[in-house]
Amino acid sequence: MNGRELSAPSCTVETPTLAHVAALAGVSPATASRVINGTARVSPRARSRVEEAVQRLGYVRHRAAPADRRSGSIAAVVCEDDARVFTDQFFARLFSGVRRELGDERELVVLIVGRSGRWGTVAEYLRGGRADGVLLISAHGAPAMALRQTGVPVLLAGRPLWTTPLPYVDADNRGGARTAVDYLLKCGRQTIGTIAGPPDRAVGVDRLAGYRAAVGDAGLPTSGLITYGDLHQASGEHAMNRLLDRRPDIDAVLCASDQMAVGALRALRRTGRRVPDDVAVVGFDDSPIAGRVRPRLTTVRRPIEDMGVRMARELLGRIAGDAPVGQGVVLNTKLIIRDSA
């Protein structure tokens, strides 16, 4: 079989391979590979012949066979609006952990598709890029169907709130919130409120559940003491004002993010309340701002880099065919005591 046969109307190509491309282009497979990988100099003539052959055959490099799996990539799909992705340190820290664990073995390509990303398009990118595995971040809903088509392991960042068998890595948000409330109780606080996160996200639901469990176990009521924010500063300020309106006797507040805690500090300052003397404030995440704001925030540390490392490790394990042990891996959080509580 030579290249010319490939261009004839009758052929035996079901899935065009690099060898087919090389044959049609009349170059060596090594040359075709160099053109396709863009890794070395090739004569313009050879390049254009290879490019033409690629186009004619509809050649797309496929997911590597087990033997050369090392050449594949890992895709991280972020379903979040740019404005948040590009300002929230969470992503930088998570991917720093992922890259550290991947090392040079596999390339990481991050796809940001927005909250309204069309899953068909995403799946096509993933197939084309022959991802060996997918880390799915901030996905709110059921993209699993489209992703399953890519036929590669998928791992979620954070516990999914929808029904899915997909594995995930998360921090112990519930346990962290519980520990924080227990600490506030031990400090003698009696009227503990919370500024919870969005109810459509695990960090919202699970941190609130931890708060409820701890306050309930202590036999204290929560009436008028629960409010919600979007995890950002301004919403924390508004929410704190609402709490103060409803319960002027509040003496502690657990915020589902450090940013909201910073907003709460501002609202408390404006009403002349001292932190922590009058009202103790606990944040969540231990993001950089927690140590910079005054008073410095007592907060629940979420091990974000470690989550990235663990996500990469779990995904690589599934790619290698390791049998999964349970659906979720939950990493410990830690209460960091500073000045605000």
- Name the residues that contact a copy of itself, by CB under 8 A: 6-7, 9-16, 35-39, 47, 51, 54-58, 60-62, 73, 82-83, 85-89, 91-92, 95-96, 99, 107-114, 117-130, 143, 145-149, 151
Q: In angstroms, how far is CA 238 from the centroid of its own chain? A: 27
| Nearest-approach distance from CB 98 to a copy of itself, in angstroms | 9
For a copy of itself, the closer of residues 119 and 228 by Cβ is 119
| Nearest-approach distance from CB 259 to a copy of itself, in angstroms | 15
What is the rounded distance in angstroms from the CA atom of residue 294 to the CA atom of residue 37? 52
| Nearest-approach distance from CB 11 to a copy of itself, in angstroms | 7
Q: Residue 331: in which H helix or E strand, if any?
A: strand 328-331
| Nearest-approach distance from CB 285 to a copy of itself, in angstroms | 15
Q: In angstroms, how far is CA 330 from the centroid of its own chain? A: 14
For a copy of itself, the closer of residues 86 and 322 by Cβ is 86
| Nearest-approach distance from CB 125 to a copy of itself, in angstroms | 3
Q: Is 329 exposed, middle or buried (0-12, 13-18, 19+ CB in 10 A)?
A: middle
For a copy of itself, the closer of residues 180 and 304 by Cβ is 304
**76, amino acid identity:** A
What is the rounded distance in angstroms from the CA atom of residue 335 to the CA atom of residue 341? 11
For a copy of itself, the closer of residues 22 and 113 by Cβ is 113
What is the rounded distance in angstroms from the CA atom of residue 200 to the CA atom of residue 138? 11
**205, amino acid identity:** V
| Nearest-approach distance from CB 144 to a copy of itself, in angstroms | 9
* CA angle 106–107–113, rounded 5-degree value: 130
For a copy of itself, the closer of residues 36 and 330 by Cβ is 36
In this structure, what DSSP letter does residue 222 have?
-
Phi, psi of 258 (to 5 degrees): -65, -35
Q: Structure tokens of 164?
A: 């899915």
For a copy of itself, the closer of residues 91 and 228 by Cβ is 91
What is the rounded distance in angstroms from the CA atom of residue 87 to the CA atom of residue 89? 6
Q: Structure tokens of 141?
A: 């809903």
| Nearest-approach distance from CB 119 to a copy of itself, in angstroms | 4
| Nearest-approach distance from CB 10 to a copy of itself, in angstroms | 6
What is the rounded distance in angstroms from the CA atom of residue 246 to the CA atom of residue 120? 47
Buried b (16+ CB within 10 A) or exposed e, 262-290: bbbbbbbeeeebebbeebbbbbbbbbebb
For a copy of itself, the closer of residues 230 and 251 by Cβ is 230
For a copy of itself, the closer of residues 117 and 193 by Cβ is 117
| Nearest-approach distance from CB 140 to a copy of itself, in angstroms | 15
Look at residues 171, 163, 153 and name the one whose alpha carbon lies nearest to residue 286: 171
For a copy of itself, the closer of residues 50 and 280 by Cβ is 50
In this structure, what DSSP letter does residue 61 have?
P
